[in-house]
Amino acid sequence: MMTHDDLVRRAGKWLRRSLNCGVVMTELSTYAHSNETPDAIGWINQRSVLVECKTSRTDFKADMKKTSRSLGRAVGAWRFYLTPPGLISVDELPDGWGLYEVDGRKVKYVGGAEYKNAERPPFKSDKDSEVGMLLSAMRRIQARSAIFVVIDECKEEQDEDR
């Protein structure tokens, strides 16, 4: 049985390898306007691709009720669901969304919007929330880098004292 974490990892790999997204993040909160936590999101040609991973119908139905989407404050110029086979039918998809399924080692297109042209996305994404996500990721990287720099400097000082 495929877990949500399994699907999220697959979504991240799919965004990077198959769609050639230069930046990919998983489960990073936006908090700017939309207060979303996308399962996976990537960027290609300054356009965002959102992947929501669903392992249950209950989770799928809850996802469709997110207020950020009804208010036009959602992330993702392209929006897809990634599920195990047969969880969602194409006729249940919201307008503009696509459905992909994990089948063994492959991610297969099932129906709805299909990613073909990064320049013609079906949605206008909430750029403020996306910038907030990217800044949050950069702050985390910067904080980790600062820690490593401090550790390396301390190690160098210890080596000099010997």
Express each pLDDT in 127-154 by its tens digit.
Answer: 888 888 888 777 777 766 655 555 544 4
Q: So where are the chain's domains?
A: 4-161
- Backbone phi, psi, residue 125, to 5°: -85, 160
Q: What is the mean pLDDT of residues 26-51?
A: 80
Question: Are 102 and 7 spatial neighbours (Cβ–Cβ below 8 Å)?
Answer: yes
The predicted structure's pLDDT at residue 154: 45
Could you tell me where the DSSP H helices lie in 31-126? Answer: 57-63, 67-70
User: In terms of pTM, does the model score above 0.95?
Assistant: no
